[in-house]
Amino acid sequence: VLREDLHLTGAKFGCGEGQCGACSVLVEGKRVFSCRTAIQSVAGKSITTIEGLAQGEQLHPVQSAFLEEGAYQCGYCTAGMIINAVALLRENPRPTQEQIATGMNKNMCRCCSYIKILNAVKRAAGV
């Protein structure tokens, strides 16, 4: 629905099984795997995709941090990583490195940009 009906192509289809996080979106501020979410279950709820994070030309701080750290290669995982990082930092604005690693561990990066992704989340958190 997001990609084909609404043309919001930021969330990516990866595994389709809730294993990679590429399809992540926020529902009422919490990360969900959109590939495993029935549309009926989110009726009437607030849904934020990567397209909804920036305020006009102003990137969300997590988006800026990913850009500044160069935390991507092919970029396929990036929207899901950023969405999950936003949810993580809303719950815990000053996480430790271990908490970031644990909080991000349901998102996979096939390009193995994990160190830069970790640095980007740390930068966004200011830790």
Which helix (H) or strand (E) segment holds residue 78: the answer is helix 78-91
**Residue among 18, 19, 23 nearest 3 (CA):** 23
Which of 23, 79, 89, 121 touches ligand FES by CB under 6 A? 23
Query: In Å, how far are 16, 36, 50, 97, 127 from 119, measured between CA atoms?
Result: 27, 29, 20, 9, 9
Where b means 16+ CB within 10 Å and e means fewer, 49-84 reads bbeebeeeeeebbbbebbeebebbeeebbbbbbbbb
* 19 belongs to the binding site for ligand FES (CB under 6 A): yes
* 21 belongs to the binding site for ligand FES (CB under 6 A): yes
Shortest Cβ distance from residue 38 to ligand FES (Å)? 13
Which of 10, 25, 33, 87 touches ligand FES by CB under 6 A? 33
How many residues sit close enough to ligand FES to count as binding (CB under 6 A)? 22
* 22 belongs to the binding site for ligand FES (CB under 6 A): yes
Shortest Cβ distance from residue 109 to ligand FES (Å)? 3
Residues in contact with ligand FES by CB under 6 A are 13-16, 18-23, 33, 35, 72-77, 109-111, 113
